Structure 1
């Protein structure tokens, strides 16, 4: 089993496990290797050192290395969860674009059907909506998620 360090075009780094280097190349050429964070198939192999798990070859006189806190959240895992959450929000909401403030008001005053919407509002518009009692939340969306969802 080959463990390869991979990177997508959006700089997300991840591991891929393949039967061989040839199998990786085959899957890559067929578009079967995708980033687990953003789902892009623009993936490349990173240089990496071979990994050997030889428990019998441990040198008992070697100084012990500090162990990472296994309870601490992994930054990549946090990023992946945040991107999955954003993707779900994008999938389950209607993009009303520049009409966000107008559409939020229409829904609040029962002039339009209630639904999940997203769009663009100036800070002044967002503040005015909040003063009217209309809940809004800024949601920074990375460029990778602004592309069509797969």
Structure 2
């Protein structure tokens, strides 16, 4: 098993586990490797060396606190997914129905176009874009 240090174009660093370097190359060419934070498929391999457990040594692969921050972001995203109803591509329609008291008030999530999102904001309906990595779109365990 090969553990590779990877990074997306947005600077998110993470590890990937592959059967071999060829396995990584194969998966990357088929766009199967993605950033667990933002879902970007443009992933590059970072230079890495064997990790040694030396007293006083620090891990230089990520800035201090970055891995903790990414873990908190993933936990927060999971919580949002657990506590909202997915209305899919009916997001704009359902947000309007809730806003105009035509449907029960509840927290929803879904997909809409940038134009529809702007129109919702202009109507006074609060919306927030939330990119969700594909790995988190799977059923939560």
TM-score clears 0.5: yes
Identify unmatched segments of 5+ residues in structure 1.
1-5, 14-36, 39-46, 56-64
1:141 matched to which residue of 2?
Answer: 132
Q: CA RMSD in A?
A: 3.4
User: Closer, same or farther in 2 for the Cα pair 1:81/1:49, shift >3 Å?
Assistant: closer
2:77 matched to which residue of 1?
Answer: 86
Identify unmatched segments of 5+ residues in structure 2.
5-12, 16-35, 38-48
TM-score, normalization by structure 2: 0.59
2:106 counterpart of 1:115: yes
Distance 2:52 2:69 in 1: 27
2:28 matched to which residue of 1?
Answer: none
2:86 matched to which residue of 1?
Answer: 95
Distance 1:49 1:102 in 2: 52
Match of 2:53 among 51, 54, 59: 51
Shift of 1:147: 1.2
Distance 1:125 1:49 in 2: 49
TM-score, normalization by structure 1: 0.56
1:43 matched to which residue of 2?
Answer: none
Q: Aligned with 1:149: secondary structure?
A: coil
Distance 1:83 1:105 in 2: 29
1:125 matched to which residue of 2?
Answer: 116
Number of residue pairs matched by the alignment: 101
Between the two structures, name the one with larger relative contact order (CA 8 Å, sep ≥ 6): 2
